[in-house]
Amino acid sequence: MFARPLQCAATKPNQQSTTPAPPNAPHQYTISDYGYGKDSVKVLHVKRNGPVHSIKEFEVGTHLKLYSQKDYYQGDNSDIVATDSQKNTVYLLAKKHGIDNPEKFALILANHFLTKYAHIAEAHIHVEEYPWERIAQEDSGICDNNYTSINNRQRHNHAFIFTPIAQRYCDVVLRRADPKQTIISGIKGLRVLKTTQSSFVNFVNDEFRSLPDQYDRLFSTIVDCCWEYSNIDDVKFCQTWNKVKNIIIQNFAGDPNVGVSSVSVQNTLYLTQKEVLDVIPQVSVISMTLPNKHYFNFDTKPFQSVAPGENNEVFIPTDKPHGTIYAQLARKDLKCHL
């Protein structure tokens, strides 16, 4: 599923639309946006380097926007590159070029569609990567995929483990009439929780309020974050993705022994975005959504004969309803597409 809708395609420079007015069409109506494509194309690529194998599994969406709208108005399919052909293109280009990272493969696909078919105005490629990691095995034979230290671990040549800590994705949009590439990378499903050093106080106090000031609470969220590149000169997409993920975790958790204080989800979100823009100059804009996944104290006051005293150990996870906090932070005077 695409992270955002396709933008309206412009006509070629110095060229009017080739679509004739449909017969007997009401002139007060016009197609304001359109496009078509193939979604959820799953592909696994195995790179074999002797006994050492590497894998990449992607789920790919390809959406195209044509200059003509005659397929809509007149039922003329002569310009349509079938969605089944788009599916085949994913597999054939994976075979021809291999698969390195989502952004690079999306650029290969988008460039192919614009180069191969002159009547395509825009190509939008969405790629999600499945999080496979090489199995790490200790000398004792115990499998351990804690990658904080692998000095004494041997990484398996051809066996992998699915590690859904977070999902990586990207959107690439190329428009024939616009020389600028739109390249958006993202993280979703990064679920984190901390048990202290989160507060929420001094908010609006009126007749609708029931929540007391929270001086020390549990803080949990599922991070959805994406960012757009103003240019990709010297960008290493995998390193950048990991750097953003580490910045998110560091601003949420802080030092392993000391932690870091969060006075609100909003402030934690902003500090994270600011650091990304500070340390990655090629990123022009970053968007984040942090749903506040609540954990409420179980009230033990009516059960003092069974569980005497205050309760700060047992909590009720509550998925719905939940708060949602989001923001987009951009460099000034830069055009972006998020």
Q: Is 251 one of the annotated binding-site residues?
A: no
Neighbours of 253 (CB within 10 A): 16
Q: What is the largest CA-CA distance in the chain?
A: 84
* Cα 247 to Cα 236: distance, rounded to the nearest angstrom: 16
Q: Which residues are catalytic?
A: 38, 83, 294
Q: Is 83 one of the annotated binding-site residues?
A: yes
Helix (H, G, I), strand (E, B) or coil at 253: helix
Distances (CA, A) of 324 to 45, 224, 266: 37, 11, 10
Q: Is 195 one of the annotated binding-site residues?
A: no
Which residues fall within 8 angstroms of residue 194, CB to CB, at 6 or more apart? 218, 219, 220, 252, 253, 259
Label residue 273 left, alpha or beta by phi (over 0 means left) and psi (-120 to 50 means alpha): alpha
Q: Is 90 one of the annotated binding-site residues?
A: no
Q: Is 137 one of the annotated binding-site residues?
A: no
Helix (H, G, I), strand (E, B) or coil at 93: helix
Q: Is 181 one of the annotated binding-site residues?
A: no
* Cα 300 to Cα 308: distance, rounded to the nearest angstrom: 8
Q: SS3 sequence, 41-84?
A: EEEEEEEEECCEEEEEEEEEEEEEEECCCHHHHCCCCCCCCCHH
Structure token digits, residue 263: 């006075």
Alpha helices in the chain (DSSP H): 70-73, 83-97, 102-116, 237-253, 265-279
Q: Which residue has the tokens 């990272």?
A: 101
* Cα 267 to Cα 291: distance, rounded to the nearest angstrom: 14
Indicate the helix (H) or strand (E) that contains 295. Answer: strand 283-297
Task: Let me know: does 277 contact 331? Beta carbons within 8 Å.
Answer: yes
Alpha helices in 188-236 (DSSP H): none
Q: Is 46 one of the annotated binding-site residues?
A: no
Binding annotation: 83-84, 200, 217, 265-266, 292
